[in-house]
């Protein structure tokens, strides 16, 4: 299919021009076996015999067509005939039907398909038949995965657009399958079982596409390119769509082929007119966002080997699954196995050097509501009192607190809520910021008493259990004024996280990351550092842990403030060692 086309090493100009196919002669051995046959219906027909009868070019084109059009696609033989008849010889539908049975038995025969470019040929066929022959999308099954019954194309074919990396946007035909026995419905990227739900395909039948909508798909290469651009270049979804649309603009020959293929509503370059035909030439920001969430969610499920247990009953289940995966991530470290490590990585200190720093550009939104930060009924004075849940659309409050305010008949708009809490506007200096936090916390505590619906900062950072072991006194003895890294947030109402703390090994491997709220406070960073070291040595015995911790080196640009915490003042300084920190967790384990 597309993978065959993407193997071309020719430049775009060569792809667009009519390719000059290499003259390929039949081997002398095949020439000796040349003979005319009137009946080719038997499966014993060999490739050499077929080449002798129809010519090498026609047979190679036929092999390409049988691979290009999926087996379960409706009217498959008609599409194969259209492709094969673009050559020098014309075949009837009956002849194609007979020949295909012979070609199926050649599945292990190596054919030099990569030496041919059929891209322009497929465009010409699409223009001639007014039907796209560029791509055919079908579910990767030939029988029901639930009951083993026969599947069939229930609704014929429909239009779709596939955004590819090497050929730009391509028009495609897609079909869905249905089981005759249990009525399970098979889509391109997933399947739905009645009364059970939607599931991902098992690993042995995965499609090379990411579903964006029912009529739009991303080639996985495009999806990966978008994700890596975001990782290394901080490229947003909107920026990526602009880049892609600029590359494959209306002046690009690949895109112009789309408009001139007569598959669109008109020959003008207006994407709105193309949508009425089911095709979409221009990528949108929403396409990129949907591809990111759908593709990364499926990838995460497959990497964690959760395909069998994950079932979606409704659309909201995807968000629930994402929250579950994020909860698992907070309690684990990114693996860096011995087989992945190199001698250079070890020389740089991947075994014992840990660099801690913050990414202050990655600030996620959170609910405006104030949540008391307590451990076993004791307050944590230097921990942020924020609700870490994501605000619902069009509001500054999460879904739970939005319902709570509605129930209490409290205004849910930002300004009206703050007036009810006695707050006139955003704080302008540190004193006003303290007053703002104090008033908001008192109002929320008075409003609902004991809050049982919120997830506090320690829970979201995955350090709640560790804080229970350390006790509030371990992080309560240092005033929050020691933090001088609250710059840029003084005039805001702290509806976003301060940033993310990232722990990296000396070899450059990211081991851990989690958000910090309000400010880069020593208490939050300290607990996360201890948590990382504890997770790294949790599989060891106490004696092995003690030896391993003595070798750790912590590099952090604000470690002088961490050293003033009570947990550090009773033992060796964090500047030199972290032995005492882990001893605390040993004693309370």
The CA radius of gyration of the chain, in Å to the nearest whole number, is 31
> Per residue, what are the HEC states of 544-559?
HHHHHHHCCEEEECCH
Query: Nearest CA to 132 among 186, 62, 68?
Result: 68
pLDDT at 107: 54
Residue 400 to residues 368, 420, 452, Cα–Cα distance (Å): 12, 19, 10
How many domains, the chain?
4
pLDDT at 255: 85
Q: Tell me: pLDDT of 106 over 80.
A: no
**397-401, 458-462, 560-564, range with greatest mean pLDDT:** 397-401
Residue 112 in domain: yes
Q: What is the DSSP letter of 143?
A: B
Residue 17 in domain: no
For residues 215-233, one letter each, b for 16 or more C-beta atoms within 10 angstroms of the residue's C-beta and e for the rest, the string is bbbbbbbbbebbbeebeee
Q: Are residues 416 and 512 in the same domain?
A: no
Residue pair 201/140 in contact (Cβ under 8 Å)? The answer is: yes
pLDDT at 31: 37
User: How sure is the predictor about 296, in pLDDT bands with cuts at 50, 70 and 90?
Assistant: very high
397 by Cβ neighbours in 10 Å (0-12 / 13-18 / 19+) ranks as buried
Please give the structure tokens belonging to residue 247.
């590359």
Q: Which residue has better confidence, 388 or 474? A: 388
Q: Are residues 385 and 444 in the same domain?
A: yes
Q: Are residues 108 and 177 in the same domain?
A: no
Residue 527 in domain: yes
Q: What is the DSSP letter of 388?
A: -
Residue 283 in domain: yes
Q: Are residues 267 and 378 in the same domain?
A: no
Mean pLDDT value across residues 320-324? 88
pLDDT at 565: 72
User: How sure is the predictor about 381, in pLDDT bands with cuts at 50, 70 and 90?
Assistant: low
**How many other C-beta atoms can be found within 10 angstroms of the C-beta atom of residue 287?**
22
Q: Are residues 237 and 296 in the same domain?
A: yes
Q: Are residues 389 and 358 in the same domain?
A: no
**17-21, 268-272, 377-381, range with greatest mean pLDDT:** 377-381
How far is the C-alpha of 352 from the C-alpha of 368, rounded, in Å?
39
How far is the C-alpha of 314 from the C-alpha of 303, rounded, in Å?
23
Q: Tell me: pLDDT of 586 over 60.
A: no
Q: Which residues are 513's β-sheet partners? A: 502
In sequence order, which residues have a C-beta less than 8 Å from that of residue 432 and are 6 or more positions away?
none
Whose tokens are 């010889």? That residue is: 89
Q: What is the DSSP letter of 109?
A: S
Please give the structure tokens belonging to residue 528.
């996360």
How far is the C-alpha of 198 from the C-alpha of 214, rounded, in Å?
15
Q: What is the DSSP letter of 105?
A: T
Alpha helices by DSSP H, listed for 43-118, are 47-54, 56-68, 76-84, 93-104
> Per residue, what are the HEC states of 157-178?
EEEEEEECCCCCEEEEEEEEEE
SS3 at position 375: strand
Q: Are residues 271 and 324 in the same domain?
A: yes
Mean confidence (pLDDT) of the chain: 78
Query: Can you spell out the DSSP letters for 389-450?
Result: SPPPTTSSS-HHHHHHHHHTT---SHHHHHHHTT--S---SHHHHHHHHHHHHHHHHHHHSS
How far is the C-alpha of 449 from the C-alpha of 471, rounded, in Å?
23
Residue pair 179/170 in contact (Cβ under 8 Å)? The answer is: no
Q: Which residue has better confidence, 476 or 176? A: 176
Q: Are residues 103 and 163 in the same domain?
A: no
Neighbouring C-alpha atoms within 13 Å toward the C-beta of 205: 18
Query: Can you spell out the DSSP letters for 8-50?
Result: --S-HHHHHSPP-PPP-PPPHHHHHT----S---STT--HHHH
Q: Are residues 417 and 306 in the same domain?
A: no
Range of the domain at 300: 139-333
Q: Tell me: pLDDT of 376 over 90.
A: no
Residue 515 in domain: yes
User: Out of 281-290, 357-366, 388-397, which region has the weakest mean confidence (pLDDT)?
Assistant: 357-366
Residue 10 in domain: no
Please give the structure tokens belonging to residue 398.
């999460």
User: How sure is the predictor about 1, in pLDDT bands with cuts at 50, 70 and 90?
Assistant: very low
In sequence order, which residues have a C-beta less than 8 Å from that of residue 171 and are 6 or more positions away?
126, 132, 134, 135, 159, 160, 161, 258, 261, 263, 279
Percentage of the chain with pLDDT > 90? Answer: 27
Cα 228 off chain centre by: 11
Mean pLDDT value across residues 58-64? 82
Residue 342 in domain: no
Q: Which residue has better confidence, 272 or 282? A: 282
Q: Are residues 219 and 289 in the same domain?
A: yes
How far is the C-alpha of 80 from the C-alpha of 75, rounded, in Å?
9
pLDDT at 492: 54
Q: Are residues 380 and 456 in the same domain?
A: yes
pLDDT at 201: 95
Q: Tell me: pLDDT of 40 over 60.
A: no
SS3 at position 452: coil
Mean pLDDT value across residues 210-222? 94
Residue 121 in domain: no
Q: What digits encode the pLDDT tens for the residues 144-171?
A: 999 999 999 888 899 999 999 989 999 9
Mean pLDDT value across residues 433-438? 82
pLDDT at 567: 65
pLDDT at 33: 38
Whose tokens are 């002669």? That residue is: 25
């Amino acid at each position: 299919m597309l993978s065959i086309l993407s193997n071309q090493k020719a430049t775009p100009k060569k792809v667009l021009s009519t390719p000059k196919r290499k003259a390929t002669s039949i081997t002398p051995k095949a020439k000796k076996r040349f003979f005319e046959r009137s009946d080719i219906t038997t499966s014993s027909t060999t490739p050499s015999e077929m080449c002798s009868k129809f010519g090498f070019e026609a047979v190679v084109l036929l092999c390409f067509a049988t691979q290009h059009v999926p087996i379960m696609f409706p009217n498959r033989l008609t599409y194969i005939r259209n492709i094969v008849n673009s050559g020098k010889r014309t075949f009837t539908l009956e002849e194609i039907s007979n020949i295909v049975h012979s070609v199926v038995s050649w599945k292990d025969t190596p054919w030099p398909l990569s030496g041919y470019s059929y891209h322009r040929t497929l465009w010409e066929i699409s223009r001639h038949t007014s039907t796209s022959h560029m791509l055919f999308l079908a579910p990767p099954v030939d029988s029901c995965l639930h009951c083993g019954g026969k599947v069939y194309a229930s609704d014929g074919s429909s239009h779709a657009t596939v955004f590819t990396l090497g050929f730009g946007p391509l028009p495609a035909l897609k079909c869905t399958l249905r089981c005759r026995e249990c009525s399970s419905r098979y889509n391109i990227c997933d399947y739905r079982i009645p009364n059970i739900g939607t599931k991902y395909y098992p690993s042995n039948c995965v499609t090379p596409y990411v579903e964006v909508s029912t009529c739009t798909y991303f080639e996985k290469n495009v999806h990966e390119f978008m994700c890596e651009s975001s990782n290394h270049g901080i490229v947003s979804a909107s920026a990526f769509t602009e880049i892609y649309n600029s590359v494959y603009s209306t002046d690009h020959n690949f895109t112009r082929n789309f408009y001139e293929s007569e598959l669109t509503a008109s020959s003008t370059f207006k994407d709105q007119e193309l949508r009425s035909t089911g095709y979409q030439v221009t990528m949108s920001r929403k396409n990129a966002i949907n591809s990111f969430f759908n593709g990364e969610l499926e990838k995460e499920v497959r990497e964690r080997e959760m395909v069998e247990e994950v079932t979606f009953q409704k659309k909201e289940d995807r968000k629930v699954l994402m929250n579950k995966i994020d909860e698992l991530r907070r309690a684990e470290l990114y693996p860096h196995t011995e087989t992945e490590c190199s001698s250079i990585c070890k020389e740089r200190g991947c075994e014992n050097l840990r660099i801690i720093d913050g990414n202050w550009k990655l600030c996620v939104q959170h609910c405006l509501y104030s949540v008391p930060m307590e451990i076993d009924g004791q307050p944590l004075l230097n921990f942020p009192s924020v609700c870490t849940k994501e605000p619902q659309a069009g509001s500054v409050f999460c879904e739970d607190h939005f319902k709570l305010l509605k129930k209490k008949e409290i205004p849910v708009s930002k300004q009206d809520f703050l007036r009810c809490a006695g707050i006139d506007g955003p704080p302008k200096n540190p004193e006003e910021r303290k007053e703002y936090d104090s008033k908001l916390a008192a109002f929320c505590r008075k409003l609902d008493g004991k809050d049982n619906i919120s997830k506090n900062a320690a829970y979201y950072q995955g350090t709640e259990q560790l804080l229970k072991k350390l006790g509030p006194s371990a992080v309560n003895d240092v005033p929050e004024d020691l933090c001088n890294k609250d710059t840029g947030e003084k005039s805001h109402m702290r509806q976003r996280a301060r940033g993310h703390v990232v722990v990296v090994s000396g070899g450059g491997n990211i081991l851990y990351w989690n958000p910090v709220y309000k400010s880069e406070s020593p208490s939050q960073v300290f607990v996360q550092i201890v948590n990382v070291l504890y997770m790294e040595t949790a599989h060891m015995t106490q004696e092995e842990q003690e030896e391993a911790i003595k070798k750790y080196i912590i590099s952090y640009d604000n470690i002088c403030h961490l050293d003033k915490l009570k947990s550090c003042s009773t033992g060796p300084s964090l500047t030199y060692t972290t032995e005492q920190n882990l001893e605390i967790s040993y004693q309370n384990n």
